[in-house]
Structure 1
Amino acid sequence: MKHPLPARPEHIGVLRLSALGDVCNLVPTIRALQRQWPEARITWIIGKGEHSLLAGLSGVEFIVYDKSSGLAGMRQLWRQLADTRFDVLLHMQQALRASVLSLGLKADLRIGYDKARAKDAQHWFTHRQLAPHARAHVLESFLDFARLMGVDDLSLEWSLAVPEAARQEAAGFTAGAPYILMSPCANPRLRNFRNWSAEGYAAVVEHAWMQHGLKTVLTGGGSTQEREMGQLIAARARSGAVIDAIGESSLKGLLALIDAAQAVIAPDSGPVHMANAMNTPTVGLYATTNPDRAGPYRWREFVVNRYPQAVSEYLHKAADSVPWGQRVRHPDAMSLIRADEVIECLEAVLALPAPHQTTEPADET
């Protein structure tokens, strides 16, 4: 017997801890739930860094869980929510740690992924599962939770909060000059292999500067790999063309930089999805991951997509024959992307009418 869905939920819990791109892709589902049930309370259990990006999201109460805190952190969160009971808990994190965390939460109904999409036996921890949705984009997989609950309006809305302090931080880097934003590195995890070459990036920087008078703002974290990549790009670019902000901005400051950029160029990483959320034209660089599943949703037609070729060359299979979400973990895969392809896509997005960018003010708290 299926557990019944609440006709009018009063308190909706959302469990999604990471990552930056994924939480951006989840926001339209939050907005859809808010439109359907404007009086409902929404509590989102989220990771620490992800919260710093989405803080101020209207109508959402955040409970921050430090993913490095282990069992002690779980127990602390359970105590914090000991008197809270959700009408429905949307278990949107396909990871054993999140499923264990969910055990200490009180909920009348727990909804998770269908067996095909669930990882780490997540379906054992939920009462109801989503309807199968083969070959779904990550954003559509999140919207499937709203679909199951009977939400009518699934139109895309983000309205992320960007505080004035973040806009001032961003302006401090650019001094009012027009620019494109380039985030050259993905998360420096082991065997990630999502980064393109410094030579390729520098060629795009040169084109933007010489053909359009656009500076390139480089952004990223403070890791040695990212800083070295920024230095290599800047060394190959014409003097004055690069503003190196790698490791220097806050996440809200990065959001403000993205919001004011003419375009964003990045591999499969948080910034392409942040740019998608801000409706900033985005050129995604994809070879090791499938952009049909994880590309910038509103800008997928401008992705430089070498994933099928990478699957063929390094996995010796056809792209439509490998599991959905299959990664190509080969250090040479991103070298399949050519600078002229990236420049062509950049030209295409720069020729578009300026998109309407919707953000909302936020407190400094």
Structure 2
Amino acid sequence: MVKRIQHHWPQTQITWVIGKIEYQLVRLMPDVDFVVYDKKDGKAGVKRLKATLADTTFDALFVMQVALRANLVSTAIKAKQRIGFDWRRSKELHWLFTNKRVKPRINAHVLDGFMDFADAIGVPQVATPQWNIPLETEAEAWAAKQVAEIGEFAIISPAASKQERNWLPERYAGIIDHMHAKSLPVVLCGGPGELDRRTADAILSHTDQVARNYVGKTSLHQLQALIKHAKLVVAPDTGPTHMATTVGTPVIGLYAHSNPRRTGPYNDLDNVVSVYDECVQEQYNKHWERLPWGTRAKGEHLMERISLHAVIERIDRLLTD
């Protein structure tokens, strides 16, 4: 959405209030004034945000999250137009914090929902989204070195933010062995958190065919640069699925709890392996199209429904294509 505004209205001054982790990925984007806000800072963070932007009244503020916490943060920013979601997508008193709404849209992917904000101020549309996230030269060089040593490879980024959204380690090991048999080395990637490391260790206990283990060893720029070179990426509902789709690397997303039509990798929705539809049908006794958009399936073991065979079949199809 930011790139769209920059393309059509290059003189527009853009300020992006952003989380500290997300900032690490997009911080080199040109012509954007970033203001980092850490939600863990609570009221103190809101106070700093208000002080930072005290001398600015924006022509438009996009309130692009409906959570009450985000709405409260938005009160620290002065703007002539406070644009929020339409009534159908408004939650947690979102409408109280805005004075203008985007046009209604039914069952939109999150990215399309964000594009509605550019529509609201009259920015011309684009045929296809473009991300073009600039990376550090050092990160690009590091990734090129890994490619030179490994050759062609695939990436598995196995850990989501919550254990219940993770696939089974032995099944990840199964697809690693499968791709190894096809002479396609697999590297593991992930963040520095305990769940990421524990998940990687569990996978490594089931296979000795992992070419490299980069879990907790890369910056976001290094990870993105590595993803650019990968033959394909396999991951659950987590950041690297979206990072892959931004650089055109095919990604197989694994979904059970959330609807991939809403939050899946934008350019790779045909490649997802999902059991979401059957899970919500059982839990709510309704087809997903008759449920509120954004309805989540609940349960600690839903990801077990994704079979090893289904993922291998999708991998083989991608490799053949």
TM-score (normalised: structure 1): 0.83
1:224 correspondence with 2:194: yes
Kindly provide the amino acid, as one letter, of the partner of residue 161 in structure 2: N
Q: Which residue of 1 aligns with 2:59?
A: 87
Kindly provide the amino acid, as one letter, of the partner of residue 202 in structure 1: A
Shift of 1:173: 5.0
SS at match of 2:235: strand
Q: Which residue of 1 aligns with 2:246?
A: 277
1:170 correspondence with 2:143: yes
RMSD of the alignment, in Å?
1.6
- Distance in structure 2 (CA, Å) of the matches to 1:243 and 1:339: 22
1:299 correspondence with 2:273: no
SS at match of 2:3: helix
Q: Which residue of 2 aligns with 1:199?
A: 170
SS at match of 1:108: strand
Higher relative contact order (CA 8 A, sep 6+): 1
Kindly provide the amino acid, as one letter, of the partner of residue 5 in structure 2: L
**Alignment gaps of 5+ in structure 2:** none
Q: Is the 8 A contact 2:254 2:273 kept in 1?
A: yes
SS at match of 2:88: coil
Q: Which residue of 2 aligns with 1:236?
A: 206
Shift of 1:171: 4.5
TM-score (normalised: structure 2): 0.94
- Distance in structure 2 (CA, Å) of the matches to 1:221 and 1:38: 35
Q: Which residue of 2 aligns with 1:22?
A: none
Q: Which residue of 2 aligns with 1:120?
A: 92
Query: Structure 1 vs Structure 2: percent identity of aligned residues?
Result: 38
- Distance in structure 1 (CA, Å) of the matches to 2:53 and 2:195: 39
- Distance in structure 1 (CA, Å) of the matches to 2:151 and 2:188: 14
SS at match of 2:5: helix
Q: Is the 8 A contact 2:60 2:82 kept in 1?
A: yes
Q: Is the 8 A contact 1:306 1:337 kept in 2?
A: yes
**Alignment gaps of 5+ in structure 1:** 1-28, 353-365
Deviations along 1:9-36, one digit per CA (max 9) or x if unpaired, are xxxxxxxxxxxxxxxxxxxx11111122
1:247 correspondence with 2:220: no
Moved over 6 A (4+): none
Deviations along 1:92-130, one digit per CA (max 9) or x if unpaired, are 122222222221211111101112212221111111011
Q: Which residue of 2 aligns with 1:182?
A: 156
In the TM superposition, 1:1-365 aligns within 5 A as 29-155=1-127, 156-171=129-144, 175-188=149-162, 193-211=164-182, 213-239=183-209, 241-352=210-321
SS at match of 2:96: helix
Q: Is the 8 A contact 2:59 2:79 kept in 1?
A: yes
Greater share of residues in helix: 2
Q: Is the 8 A contact 1:193 1:329 kept in 2?
A: no
